[in-house]
Amino acid sequence: MKSHVLRPLWVVISFVVLALIIRHFIVPSDFGIHEKGFTYGYYRKSNEDEWKAFKVKYQTKEYCKECHEDKYEENMSSKHGIIQCENCHGPAIDHPENPEKLAIDRGRKLCLRCHAYLPYPTSNRAEIKGINSSEHNPDTGCSMCHDPHQPDIEG
Amino acid sequence: MKFTRRDFLITAIKGALVTTLPMGAVRLLSPSEVRASIKETNVRWGFLIDTRKCVGCGFCVKACKNENEIPYDVPVTRTWVERYIVLKDGEQLIDSPMGARDGFTGQRVRERDVDPKDIAKAFFVPKLCNQCEKPPCVQVCPVGATYQTPDGVILVDRSWCIGCGYCIMACPYGVRFFHPVHRVADKCTFCYHRIHKGMNPACVDACPFGARRLGNLKDPNDFVTKTILSKRVGVLKDEYGTKPMAYYIGLDENVR
């Protein structure tokens, strides 16, 4: 059957088939509609596992306790026991292998995060002992006088 | 062939068995088995923020940026803390320098000295992705790169995202940004890699005051769920109909 209408139609059909074949190889097999339906769940399923495999860096106090139990006990008995070790010592990652030594932040600015006096009556900030940084020994490191592990004892 | 009464009864019993057996098999499934077969999980992550406890130290922001490899000195962040100062004449001062990565250490707000006597109320509000039940950012994605997981967290597929930025525009809470290294849209994942190992998100662990908490909203015995069900909590921009899953205690009318 020869027709000037059918011939371009075959061309179009072959293009569609070709596009579908290419699409089959390009789009991953787990890409499609998942639990949350087409509106919210149209995605590549294996990406969930890729996010789950992301590296954990902050290991929390319990991890530090395994080797540094003396420091842990000392710290937990003080008001600063609520603060994670890694907030000041930096993320442990795979310490002691990587990094072998943690970079401790001893700057005044670290202490000022909580202890810079701010006159905010409706915030818990007003409950924390605060200083005016430009008046309270401005050129000295805080740890010269205060023990960050046990701030109740002035060293 | 003669069809006797005996044949009739045997055929009838066989027929009844054949029709009732599959029905019995269906009825034996318990509701939990049905739920499992359609892959519905019993986890829905939600967040509880107690703004009364927040002191604006910014340890959450620091921990988040380090944990999730967000460039530290670029002004983009997955979570941030806002400072609200409402003066007695009604004027509002709101700031969040570098997302409060280094906390709030001075009384100057937006290059302005505020007299403590003029302050009517002042407080800090931590913000992060609300992991909405009906996320507008997911609806607008033209390629299926951002999605909602079965446990309710919105993630971005970095290998699939084309970086068009529609989702960044669509989010009413402004929690999405363009990742300067990966060149794709980025957002808070509730630390998906940590919560699947039974850990807390990095910001929750870093907060010394317990102002941030993660919980499973499908578990009625979870602390967060119990608090949401029994205490007065609020959500941000409820009028958008996004059904945000980050609940706030002590939310002020000035917080947007």
B57-91: per-residue pLDDT in tens?
Answer: 999 999 999 999 999 999 999 999 999 999 999 99
Q: Which two tokens stand for residue B46?
A: 């939600």
CA distance B116 to chain A (A): 6
pLDDT number for residue A150: 86
Interchain proximity B155–A47, CB inside 8 Å: yes
In the structure, what pLDDT confidence band is assigned to residue B36 with cuts at 50, 70 and 90?
low
Q: Strand, coil or helix: what is A49?
A: helix
| Residue A138, C-beta contacts closer than 8 angstroms, at least 6 positions apart | none
Q: Nearest Cβ partner of B197 from A56, A114, A128?
A: A56
* Whether pLDDT at B28 is above 90: no
pLDDT digits (tens, 9 = 90+) for A64-119: 999 999 999 999 999 999 999 999 999 999 988 989 999 898 889 999 999 999 98
Query: Which of A112, A118, A133 to mutate: most B Cβ within 10 Å?
Result: A118
In the structure, what pLDDT confidence band is assigned to residue B24 with cuts at 50, 70 and 90?
low
Q: Is B46 on the interface with A (CB under 8 A)?
A: no
* φ and ψ of B249, to 5 deg: -100, 135
* φ and ψ of B7, to 5 deg: -60, -45
Distances (CA, A) of B132 to A40, A52, A97, B80, B205: 11, 20, 39, 18, 23
Q: Is A63 on the interface with B (CB under 8 A)?
A: no
3-state SS track over chain B: CCCCHHHHHHHHHHHHHHHHHHHHHHHCCCHHHHHHHCCCCCCCEEEEEECCCCCCCCHHHHHHHHHCCCCCCCCCCCCEEEEEEEECCCCEEEECHHHHCCCCCCCCECCECCCHHHEEEEEEEEECCCCCCCCHHHHCCCCCCEEECCCCCEEECCCCCCCCCHHHHHCCCCCCEECCCCCCEECCCCCHHHHCCCCCCHHHHHCCCCCEEEEECCCCCCHHHHHHHHCCCECCCHHHCCCCCEEEECCCCCCC
Nearest chain A residue to B102 by CA: give it. A113
pLDDT number for residue A4: 83
In the structure, what pLDDT confidence band is assigned to residue B39 with cuts at 50, 70 and 90?
low
In chain B, the percentage of residues whose pLDDT exceeds 70 is 92
Alpha-carbon Rg for chain B, nearest whole angstrom, is 26
Q: Which two tokens stand for residue B79?
A: 């979570």
Restricting to B residues 58-97, those with a Cβ less than 8 Å away from any Cβ of A are: 58-59, 62-63, 66-68, 85
pLDDT digits (tens, 9 = 90+) for B178-206: 999 999 999 999 999 999 999 999 999 99
pLDDT number for residue A123: 83
DSSP state of A141: -
Restricting to A residues 108-137, those with a Cβ less than 8 Å away from any Cβ of B are: 109, 112-114, 116, 118-125, 128, 133
Interchain proximity A58–B66, CB inside 8 Å: yes
Q: Strand, coil or helix: what is A36?
A: coil
pLDDT number for residue B61: 97
CA distance A155 to chain B (A): 23
Distances (CA, A) of B101 to A121, B65, B119: 23, 9, 24
Interchain proximity B55–A123, CB inside 8 Å: yes
* Whether pLDDT at B33 is above 90: no
Interchain proximity B157–A112, CB inside 8 Å: no
Position of tokens 């205690």?
A: B249
- Round the average pLDDT of chain A to a whole number and report it: 90
In the structure, what pLDDT confidence band is assigned to residue B2 with cuts at 50, 70 and 90?
confident
Q: Mean pLDDT throughout A27-45?
A: 92
Whole-number Å distance between alpha carbons of B103 and B128 = 16
Whole-number Å distance between alpha carbons of B69 and B198 = 21
Interchain proximity A121–B121, CB inside 8 Å: yes
Nearest chain A residue to B136 by CA: give it. A40
Q: Strand, coil or helix: what is A99?
A: coil
pLDDT number for residue B121: 92
* Whether pLDDT at B125 is above 60: yes
pLDDT number for residue B230: 95
pLDDT number for residue B140: 96
Predicted complex ipTM exceeds 0.95 = no
Whole-number Å distance between alpha carbons of B19 and A22 = 47
* Whether pLDDT at B208 is above 60: yes
Interchain proximity B135–A53, CB inside 8 Å: no
More confident residue, B137 or B29: B137
* Whether pLDDT at A29 is above 70: yes
Start-to-end C-alpha separation, chain B: 86
Nearest chain B residue to A125 by CA: give it. B55
In the structure, what pLDDT confidence band is assigned to residue A40 with cuts at 50, 70 and 90?
very high
